[in-house]
Structure 1
């Protein structure tokens, strides 16, 4: 990890906030993350987990790079083949509705502003032995024009150190700097790049152990990672939805040849609160071009 100058990392405890109050909003702004307890009810968690089974079995539609499940395979065996499914909202109305969950939207409008849009969902299905993700910042993958990217990482199982919960570097979002990236071949992590040369050490990281139904709300510049599911049995499932200000353009994906880079605005978005100032552009639906990750 880096050798840079000390950034004054502040020790942060993982507080489970029962309500969307000033303390939760202040912690997210100060530390870059906060936890909303009971963001989803047990019934809502169970409904999404059932959708996860149906997605992995192919019952809701085709998943690019997915597997053909046989009737003889158990649900758990089918799910163990997967690590992550990108854009499950494209096939699941249940997951699509989660974008608009009032408890989470309440946090987002207080953090981001009255106009909020969503652009991505990711369903993590991390079984025993599956890897985590190396240090990264979500803004590295989903750039905004105004640093408004915010994730809602919803635990669908109790997330523990043993089964691969999130680890965060508190305060690492404050500079608004995207750190350098490099390829990595650490067996603890999937094949995504890792960020490096930042002024924090692994020892500064805080594990975010939370119960099913709780949501970690965190800033797009926050450095975070996860480690493998080293448990002897069970999954560490999570649904991660990504949001940003509807007042910001979304310069995501490859810029078309006939569009000036300053005007590029990816429009496969869903408005979840307020108004979209760019509604005159219309929206697109890339369709069920989901893809699965297995390692």
Structure 2
């Protein structure tokens, strides 16, 4: 899609950007994260996977002789890295990102999840899905914020999206996945959208914002020597409660309060903030049955 309104420049969002998001379900903000911020994220990623923030289940001990690339190639991603990394926690409230969220989500915004993907050479991608299938909100305000740490290309496994697919307003059925492009055991049949599927190739420091109902995926990293690292955070309006049990990992709830406010005020501030989610390493094959 070649529409100038899909781009947010210099963190300055326009009414045309807001309308584009409502119509197509995504926005692209080139270089909204600075070169220095990206470099800090890269160094911090290595620290996490070298165990500098402490041990985690599934974290493999490393030696000083192993180079950083070899260490990162052992993993796919870590969920909730902001729980241990002050660098990633700081990025949840990055000024340019929050400015966009205040305009397309709500003046009051909370974050409930971070995910750090390393996606080394040969690693499979994520099958077609809608984020709200996993993180349910009451007001359909969920938004993914995808920060490109490395340049993301078709070759190394960039995002693919279907513009406007969020407007269906419902969770599409899951079917078995038979493509080796994806690590997941199930996917969504997108053959009816064949002509509308587009890749989102972006440079390091670019941020992609996408609606919780937008169909999106990423394919296998087909390069032999390039990573496609990305920090992906999820936000929603603070006005909505969050009935999220983390795919059965947490007790059923009407409002999961393990959140971080990034803008405005918390209408539910009378409820305590909790610390329920712990960082964990994402498996090579993700099995979530709902």
Aligned Cα root-mean-square deviation (Å): 1.8
Give me the whole-angstrom Cα distance separating, in 1, the residues matched to 2:41 and 2:157: 20
Higher-RCO chain (CA-CA 8 Å, sequence separation at least 6): 1
Deviations for 1:64-90, whole angstroms, at most 9, x for unmatched residues?
A: 222222222111000011111111101
2:280 paired residue number: 290
2:192 paired residue number: 200
Q: Give SS of 1:239's match.
A: strand
2:288 paired residue number: none
Q: Does 1:94 align with 2:83?
A: no
Give me the whole-angstrom Cα distance separating, in 2, the residues matched to 1:247 and 1:43: 34
Give me the whole-angstrom Cα distance separating, in 1, the residues matched to 2:42 and 2:127: 25
Contact 1:185 1:191 in 2 (8 A): no
Q: CA deviation at 1:151?
A: 0.8
2:226 paired residue number: 234
1:209 paired residue number: 201
Runs of 4+ displaced beyond 4 Å: 11-15
Structure 2, unaligned runs of 5 or more: 286-290
Contact 2:80 2:277 in 1 (8 A): no
Query: Quick check: 59-68 or 151-160, which moved more?
Result: 59-68
Q: CA deviation at 1:185?
A: 4.1
1:56 paired residue number: 49
Pick aligned residue for 2:270 from 276, 280, 290: 280
Q: Does 1:21 align with 2:14?
A: yes
Give me the whole-angstrom Cα distance separating, in 2, the residues matched to 1:269 and 1:79: 28
Deviations for 1:23-60, whole angstroms, at most 9, x for unmatched residues?
A: 32222211111101111000000101111001111111
Give me the whole-angstrom Cα distance separating, in 2, the residues matched to 1:279 and 1:291: 31
Pick aligned residue for 1:30 from 23, 32, 45: 23
Q: Give SS of 1:277's match.
A: coil
1:225 paired residue number: 217
Query: Quick check: 207-216 or 18-27, which moved more?
Result: 18-27
Give me the whole-angstrom Cα distance separating, in 1, the residues matched to 2:146 and 2:184: 21
Give me the whole-angstrom Cα distance separating, in 2, the residues matched to 1:37 and 1:69: 35
Give me the whole-angstrom Cα distance separating, in 1, the residues matched to 2:237 and 2:156: 33
Structure 1, unaligned runs of 5 or more: 1-10
Pick aligned residue for 1:115 from 108, 121, 129: 108
Pick aligned residue for 1:173 from 162, 166, 172: 166
Q: Give SS of 2:241's match.
A: coil
Q: Give SS of 2:192's match.
A: coil
Distance 1:57 1:185, change over 3 A: farther
Q: Does 1:187 align with 2:180?
A: yes
With structure 2 as the length reference, what TM-score do the two structures score?
0.91
Contact 1:132 1:189 in 2 (8 A): yes
Contact 1:144 1:251 in 2 (8 A): yes
Distance 1:153 1:36, change over 3 A: same
